[in-house]
Amino acid sequence: ELAGSHPFFVQMAAYYAFAHLDAARGELSPAARREVRAEFVAQAEPHWRYAWLELAPAERKALVLAGDMARAEPSLVHHLRELALVVDTAGGPALLSPEVRAFFARQPVDGLWQLPPLAIDGTARRVWLNGREIDVSGLEYDLLLLLAARPGSVYTAGEIDAALWPHDAGSAGNGERLKSVVKGLRRRLGAYEHLVQNERGVGYVLAVERLDPG
């Protein structure tokens, strides 16, 4: 789970696991497992960071959106496989391990708005949730992009209305159209619908934190 299949990382994980092994019981306690994970990540991250710096922009983007690896360019996946960052699984190409995936998910990429678990491509108008691309309508995308510009800050209904319908903002009876777009976006987010929160009587806020741009 920690090291995937790469011999170097397997050896590293085994070293820390053996150091914390309860010889009498022949197993790791929950506390020991946490220690092993922390020590392994501390030693592995410099190697992952070096690999990250050597990658081309398209490769970095593919790693951040690792859940969509099967849709990446075959030549790109092949190169990442040669770097031992990607392995083949029954479900298709995937990152080496959950730990390396978590590391790359935290790395900022130019042109990609990263608001874990969301990622937004502001040029291509595409949205990913936990690495899987989701389909959104034009207005749903516009709403999400607006809220993502100031995550954690409330946009008033009037501000949103003016941004989404600039030629018809503030028209009487149009409050329902905003509610409809919000409802649609929440439906697309599924189990993460709570990320789009309503401040009663004020407006809406995207309850995430944005990574610093690369």
pLDDT tens digit sequence for 146-185: 999 999 999 999 999 999 998 886 665 567 899 999 999 9
193 and 116 in one domain? yes
In a domain, 214, yes or no: no
Q: Between 155 and 79, where is the model more confident? A: 155
Does residue 28 contact residue 21 with C-beta atoms inside 8 Å? yes
185 and 166 in one domain? yes
125 and 101 in one domain? no
DSSP code string of 145-181: HHHHHSTTSPEEHHHHHHHH-TTSTT-TTTHHHHHHH
17 and 49 in one domain? yes
How many structural domains is the chain composed of? 2
- Tell me the mean pLDDT in the region 107-132: 89
12 and 101 in one domain? yes
Domain with 188, as residue range(s), is 112-206
In a domain, 59, yes or no: yes
For 107, the enclosing helix (H) or strand (E) is none
Task: Output the six-digit token pair for 95.
Answer: 């990152």
In a domain, 184, yes or no: yes
66 φ/ψ angles, rounded to the nearest 5 degrees: -60, -25
Query: What pLDDT sits at residue 214?
Result: 45
pTM listed for this prediction: 0.73
- Tell me the mean pLDDT in the region 119-143: 93
Give 38-74 pLDDT, tens digit per residue: 999 899 899 889 888 988 888 888 888 876 677 778 8
Give 81-93 pLDDT, tens digit per residue: 888 788 888 888 8
135 and 198 in one domain? yes
Does residue 99 contact residue 44 with C-beta atoms inside 8 Å? yes
In a domain, 177, yes or no: yes
Does residue 141 contact residue 127 with C-beta atoms inside 8 Å? yes
39 and 23 in one domain? yes
CATH code of residue 186: 1.10.10.10
